[in-house]
């Protein structure tokens, strides 16, 4: 199994991540467009309310001093569902910790288009057109858990083996913060600060990501 590729490594303050959007939309190969159509049809067949639309695709990136510069263009959202090649569609992942170091984990609802029924750390979702991926991190945290971070850093730009680009952030919540779970999850838990003490539903990719974040290697 191929491992994710780290394209750029922070951490960066959110204000040091800059996004420049192209006007022209990405035009995929015909076979990818057909596969995206099939993926949307399959979601509809299983009763998912997921719908097609537009999101962002990474065109280029550069580290300039203490800043991360991203060039992005609009892309059809459903292309991120094409098996083996998500066309460098972008998503944000906000790994979230409590003030005392515990990790917020949520089990993704069965109707979702990506990783249904699996446990994930924090919040995540597609980058909206015109949006800075750094803003995606706070937006998704608010939409999924109704909470704002006390501090947030952008930790890394990562390309997954199926060519989905992830902007990975690390959010720390204020002491006493209360979360409210949205309908994209059907369960949640606060996993211990000690990764070795996580429950068995915490799969190896989640443990590896958390370990790398703690070590500063992601």
CATH assignment at residue 57 = 3.90.79.10
Q: How far apart are CA 111 and CA 45, in angstroms?
A: 11
pLDDT (0 to 100) of residue 206: 93
Are 138 and 152 in contact by the 8 Å Cβ rule? The answer is yes
pLDDT (0 to 100) of residue 4: 85
Q: How far apart are CA 129 and CA 33, in angstroms?
A: 19
Q: How far apart are CA 171 and CA 7, in angstroms?
A: 21
The two structure tokens encoding residue 33 = 């467009």
pLDDT (0 to 100) of residue 86: 96
pLDDT (0 to 100) of residue 1: 52
How many domains are contained in the chain?
A: 1
pLDDT (0 to 100) of residue 66: 93
Phi and psi dihedrals of 83, rounded to 5?
-60, 125
Range(s) of the domain holding residue 113? 5-215
Please give the average pLDDT of every successive group of 10 residues along the chain, which has 218 residues. Answer: 84 96 97 94 81 93 95 96 95 97 95 87 95 96 97 96 96 96 94 96 93 83
């Amino acid at each position: 199994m191929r491992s994710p590729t780290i394209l750029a490594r922070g951490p960066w303050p959110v204000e040091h991540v800059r996004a420049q959007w192209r006007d022209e939309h990405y035009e995929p190969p015909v076979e990818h467009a057909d596969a995206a159509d099939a993926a949307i049809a399959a979601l509809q067949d299983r009763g998912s309310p997921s719908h097609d639309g537009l999101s962002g695709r990474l065109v280029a990136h550069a580290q300039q001093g203490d800043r991360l510069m991203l060039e992005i263009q609009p892309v059809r959202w459903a292309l991120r569902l094409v098996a083996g090649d998500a066309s460098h569609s972008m998503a944000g992942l906000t790994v979230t910790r409590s003030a005392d170091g515990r990790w917020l984990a949520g089990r993704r609802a069965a109707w979702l288009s990506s990783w249904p029924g699996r446990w994930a750390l924090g919040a995540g979702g597609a980058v909206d057109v015109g949006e800075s991926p750094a803003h995606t991190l706070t937006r998704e945290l608010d939409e999924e858990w109704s909470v704002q971070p006390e501090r947030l850093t952008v930790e890394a730009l990562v390309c997954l083996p199926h060519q989905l680009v992830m902007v990975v952030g690390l959010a720390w919540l204020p002491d006493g913060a209360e979360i409210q779970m949205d309908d994209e999850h059907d369960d949640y838990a606060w996993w211990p600060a000690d990764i070795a003490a996580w429950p068995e539903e915490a799969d190896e990719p989640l443990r590896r990501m958390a370990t790398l974040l703690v070590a500063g290697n992601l």
